[in-house]
Every structure is written in C-alpha cells, then in structure tokens.
Structure 1
C-alpha cells in the first residue's frame, strides 16, 4: 500500500527564510557599524593624546570627528567636521586689583578651550601625532570662563552669570526666548562688602574666601555689564543696577556707595590664549558662562601647539 505524500506548500517556510535573511543582514550591518564606531573612537582618542602634548592641556580633551561612515572619510584623509573641548586649562588671575597683587595660586583658576572646524583634511588619520600638521577650514576657537572662575578673578566668590531674556518676554534667555548670548546687558549677581573698598595695598590680603565671612556690612546685588575684548584681557564694564523682571538680588546700596559697588563688578581679567593662536574678536554670555571667541578661514596647525 502506497501512503500519500503530503507536500507543504504553505508560505511559512518562505516567510521563515525571509526573516532569517533579514536578521542576518541586520546583524552584518550592526557589526559593521560597531567596527566603524570603534575605529572612529580609537582615532579620536589618538588625536586627544596628541593634543595632550601641548603644555596647556593637563586633562585628555574631548574630540569628535564628523562624517559617517568613518572608514570612507579616513581613506580620503578628510572629515566634514571636528570638535575639540579641553577642560581644566589653567587661567591666570589679574596681575593686580587696585594695587593688590592677585594670583590664582591658592585656588587655581580654570578655563575651557574649544575648537570647531567645518573640514579637516590632508593627514594620515590613523597616525595622529603631536607634530604632524592638520589642515582646518572655517575654524571657530573659544575660551570659556564659568561663573565660579570669573568670580575668583573679580574677587566676588559667589558670582553668578545670567543672560536676561528679551524685553517683554519671560525666561532667562534660553532657546525658547530666541536669545542664547549677549554682549551688552549681561546680568551679574554677587555679594560685596560695604563700603566696597578693596584690601589695603600694604596688607596684600584678599577678601575672605566666602562672602558669608565678611566681618562688616555686606550686600548682594545684581548689575548689568557690557563685555569686550582688548588684547589679552576680557573687559567687563558695569553700567547699572538690575531691577528685573528676571530673578535678581536687590540689596539696598546707600547712594554714596553705588558707584563704588558698580566698580567692584567692573574689571579687566586675562583669559587663556585661544587655541592655535586664533585672534579673539568677541566676548559674550553663553548661559551661565562668558565666552571669548574668534574665527579663522584656514589653519595649518600641530596638536602640540594647541
């Protein structure tokens, strides 16, 4: 007796095969992306190590190379973008404030240096070295001072920086306000003593490390300042006291001390040289930081000169 042969002509085997093939393709793509990402990360790390040959870079900087996939750009020796962020760069304090020598030796002052470039080319990206030239296009270089370090430089230890929102709009100058930076009308808040005189040049002693340790009368105020760059200095000029609508401190300052209090929020403070000697052209607030920046159309640089 011959048994009937059953032939399964349902679509299940074909569907199963298609699913397996699709899974294999996804696995292969995932593996290639992982390998490409690993190679990009290794190249970025090597460039970061090369940058640490610069005497100014104490900590490994963050480096991001643009372009995907990495291997195709590396093969051509060019990338459509480069971002470098070097934090913890030493910044000197003002040489003196009203005749009192100032240094940041006891409490080191630090800044953040940054670079953005639209194009990187002309080098062997697998062999970054401290002295091998790198060609950059459309470069923006910057030095950033946060409120803590700026306060140390101005001798106002509880200094806070803010960017007021545009007139008749609520907020602190964030993305929803359409304003991310300002050069004039930047808001500084801090505590100063009354009368707001600095230590005697003969004592060469700074104010106590905390504004809460003032032995005399003190006042916490908010003032508006303008920012400018003059040579190697950030120039801060206080123009008036601030009365809102942003959050602010409204301490009572006797009339005879008002001009002197504003002068306490004014000054010239040095900032680190911009990366690769880019000339600074602008100073502005950026959130709670102060940013000094400049641009260059083309640069040929070496990492150890950062």
Structure 2
C-alpha cells in the first residue's frame, strides 16, 4: 500500500472517531508510573500508620509515668525501634528516652523548687508494646539517669538572688557552654554569678523577683566553683572570686565579708530525687544548668516508680 493510501486510511479512521493505538513503550511507561505511585502511596500510609502507633504507645508510657507521685506534668517519651509496629507487637524496643520537667524538690524556705528528671534506657521489653501500663514490669539492659537544676532553682537552694551558671569553654575552644557550643560540661572551674544578701538577711523576702527589689544590702559577685557528689548529694565548693576572660562581675568585697560571700557559694544540697531512685555517681555543669548523674545495668523497673 502506498504512503498516500495509508494517510487516507488514518484520516478516514479519525473522521469516524476511532483511535489509533499508541506505541507500546508509551503504554509501558504509564503502567510503570501507576505502579510507582501505588508503591509510594502504600509506603506513605505504612509510615503514617507506624508513626501513629508510636505516638499512641509513647503516650501510654507517658501517662503511666505520670502515675508516679513525684511527676506532675506529662513526661516526654521516645521509644526506639523501626518499623515500630514490629517492635511493639514483640514488646521489645531498642531503647527509650524520658524527660520529666517541673518535678517538685525540697529546698529551704520559702520553697517552690523544681528539677528536671530524665533517663535513657537501653534495650527494653514490656508485656504489651502497644499499651504500657503503670505497673508493667520494664526489663532494660541499662539506665542512664539524671536530675537537672537550672540556675534559678540552684539559686534558691543557695539563697543567692539572680544566680546564673556559666560553663566556660577550654582555653583552646570558643564559647561559653551554650547549645551552639555543644553544651560544654565541667566539674571544675564552673562560673557562678549572683547577688548575695549581706547580714542581716531578710528571710521574708529571701527570693524577690530581682536583686533591685531586695530591701537589704547586697553584693553581686562572680566566683569559681567545683561540683561533685558527696554521700549521694550535690556538693558545690567555691574556690575563689573570678576575674578571668569570661563575662563576669568584678565587685569590691570588703575584707571582713569575703569569706562570708564566698561561703554562700559552698554548700551540700539536700538529697535530690533521681529516676527510679538510682544513686547519683557524678555531677557536672552543662551550659547554664547543674546535673547529677547515675547509671544502673540490667534493671526491672515500673513506670509508676519513676
């Protein structure tokens, strides 16, 4: 058949409304695209389902931790394991991270002190990975626990107004211990700056909103302290007034008050709560906070005892 005859036949088919099949590779491309879209859609649905189940399981763990008498706000909980559905069905997870903020702790009058309690659990198993109850036994390979005091609450323990904690960087490293510096840690050479009420101390206004509202005499200073653990309690020991390169207050303290002022930064705090009553073994500053830390290998614990 000549080319003109073929063209006439095609034109005749088009006029009659019939379609001419496209090349085979076009149809294969459409099928492959539909298949790929289906796979992506299934993967997205599976991921969303996995995430939803993880949120529900972590929520049940958080509510069970809230059963502890010392926890008053919902803790943040992250359970490890992917895909989560498989780990939850087996009741086994690669780990967990728990953060409980605003935990009340006992401090000198007028009180009102709070701390953050946290724990990182190693591999763990529970009776029901989808619903972790308050009395469920949690078997874990390890627990790294901490209790964190920020500068405000540490100041209330020490009776120092407007206290700030600074973790200076080593000499060969820039920064002052903030998040941008990787949250530097120190056990010695921690820089504390605060306003010390001078005798006689007005106990009724021991913690005013600011030093400017304190009715008595005060002096604002910067000192260097070492932190450690003494008989399971956080211990701070002031070594000297600070006059180094870090931002600080260089105040003139009368000679007869130097020991008194420096002594206000030396103290052994009352025993602080730790997750699952793990004994603290070390202390350090971290950014603008001070932490107690303790570890325990292979433990069986219950959320309600946190």
Give the TM-score normalised by the residue count of structure 1: 0.88
Structure 2 CA distance for partners of 1:255 and 1:169, relative to 1, 3 Å: farther
Q: 1:113 aligns with which of 114, 117, 142?
A: 117
Mapping of 1:1-306 within 5 angstroms? Answer: 3-4=9-10, 6-9=20-23, 11-94=25-108, 102-104=109-111, 108-173=112-177, 180-193=184-197, 196-197=198-199, 199=201, 205-207=204-206, 209=208, 210-306=210-306
Structure 2 CA distance for partners of 1:168 and 1:260, relative to 1, 3 Å: farther
Output the CA distance in 1 between the equivalents of 2:74 and 2:182.
34
Select the structure of larger CA radius of gyration.
Answer: 2
Higher normalized helix content (fraction of residues): 2
Structure 2 CA distance for partners of 1:236 and 1:170, relative to 1, 3 Å: same
**What per-residue deviation string (whole Å, max 9, x for no partner) do you get for residues 163-194 of structure 1?**
0111244311357767721111111110123x
Output the CA distance in 1 between the equivalents of 2:174 and 2:257.
31
Output the CA distance in 1 between the equivalents of 2:23 and 2:90.
52
Structure 2 CA distance for partners of 1:217 and 1:197, relative to 1, 3 Å: closer
Output the CA distance in 2 between the equivalents of 1:205 and 1:11.
87
Q: Could you tell me how far 1:249 is from its partner in structure 2?
A: 1.5
Output the CA distance in 2 between the equivalents of 1:278 and 1:198.
39
Output the CA distance in 2 between the equivalents of 1:225 and 1:68.
44
**What per-residue deviation string (whole Å, max 9, x for no partner) do you get for residues 112-160 of structure 1?**
1001012111422123111111111121011111111111111112000
Contact 1:92 1:103 in 2 (8 A): no
**What per-residue deviation string (whole Å, max 9, x for no partner) do you get for residues 255-285 of structure 1?**
2222211111111222532111211101110
Unmatched 5+ stretches in structure 1: 95-101
